[in-house]
Amino acid sequence: MMIKFFIPHRLEGEKIIMLTRRDPFIMLTRIASWVVVGILPLLFYWLLGDTLQSIFGGVTYQPILVLFTSLFYLYIWLFAFVSYVNYYLDVWIITNQRIIDMEQRGLFARIVSEQRLDKIQDITAESKGFFPTVLNYGEVYAQTAGEKERFVFKQVPEPYTIAKKLGDVVHDYKKAHLYTDNLRK
Amino acid sequence: MDVSISIFYYIYLVFVGFFLFFTFFNAYHLVRFGFLSLGNITVIIFYIVVTALILSISWGYISQIDWQQSFYVAPQFQFHNINGL
ipTM summary value: 0.82
Nearest CA in chain B to A7: B33
In whole angstroms, give the CA distance from residue A27 to residue B39: 15
Shortest Cα distance, chain A CAs vs residue B85, angstroms: 39
pLDDT of A185 higher than 80: no
Write out pLDDT tens, residues A14-32.
888 888 999 999 999 999 9
A20 within 8 A of A100, measured Cβ to Cβ: no
Cross-chain residue pair A84–B19, CB shorter than 8 Å: no
What average pLDDT does the segment A55-63 reach?
Answer: 72
What pLDDT is attached to residue A183? 66
In whole angstroms, give the CA distance from residue A175 to residue A177: 6
What pLDDT is attached to residue A51? 77
Identify the DSSP state of B34.
S
What pLDDT is attached to residue B83? 64
Q: Let me know the angle formed at the C-alpha of A44 by A41 and A50, rounded to the nearest 5 degrees.
A: 120
Write out pLDDT tens, residues A128-177.
999 999 999 999 999 887 666 678 999 999 999 999 999 999 998 888 87
pLDDT category of residue A58 using cuts at 50, 70 and 90: low
What pLDDT is attached to residue B74? 66
Give me the residues of A, 125-154, that contact B with CB < 8 A: none
| Secondary structure of residue A144 in the 3-state scheme | strand
Nearest CA in chain B to A57: B71
A120 within 8 A of A71, measured Cβ to Cβ: no
What pLDDT is attached to residue A175? 85
- A29 CB neighbour count, 10 Å cutoff: 12
**Cβ-based contacts of B70 with chain A (< 8 Å):** 59
In whole angstroms, give the CA distance from residue A142 to residue A172: 16
**Cβ-nearest to B9 among A67, A74, A110:** A67
Total residues belonging to chain A: 185
What average pLDDT does the segment A79-87 reach?
Answer: 91
What pLDDT is attached to residue B9? 92
**Cβ-nearest to B43 among A63, A71, A84:** A84
pTM of the complete model:
0.81
Element (DSSP H or E) covering residue A73? helix A61-89
- Closest listed residue to residue A169, CA positions, set A133, A115, A129, A126: A115
Percent of chain A with pLDDT over 90: 42
What pLDDT is attached to residue A79? 93
Write out pLDDT tens, residues B31-52.
877 766 788 888 899 999 999 9
What average pLDDT does the segment B54-76 reach?
Answer: 84
Which of B5, B6, B11, B46 would you mutate first to test chain A, the one with the most A CBs within 10 A? B5
- B10 CB neighbour count, 10 Å cutoff: 10
What pLDDT is attached to residue A2? 44
What average pLDDT does the segment A60-83 reach?
Answer: 90
In whole angstroms, give the CA distance from residue B48 to residue B34: 18
**Which residues touch B2 (CB under 8 Å, ≥6 apart)?**
B70, B71, B72, B73
A152 within 8 A of A140, measured Cβ to Cβ: yes
What pLDDT is attached to residue A3? 44
What pLDDT is attached to residue A1? 42
Nearest CA in chain B to A102: B33
What pLDDT is attached to residue B84? 57
Q: What share of chain A is helix, strand, coil (3-state, %, to 5)?
A: 55, 25, 20
A5 within 8 A of B35, measured Cβ to Cβ: yes
What pLDDT is attached to residue A133? 93
> How many interchain CB pairs under 8 A, A with B?
89
Q: Which of A34-38, A64-68, A121-125, B73-77 has the lowest mean pLDDT?
A: B73-77
Which of B12, B55, B62 would you mutate first to test chain A, the one with the most A CBs within 10 A? B12
**Cβ-based contacts of A81 with chain B (< 8 Å):** 23, 26, 47
pLDDT of A34 higher than 80: yes
Q: Let me know the angle formed at the C-alpha of A117 by A114 and A122, rounded to the nearest 5 degrees.
A: 100
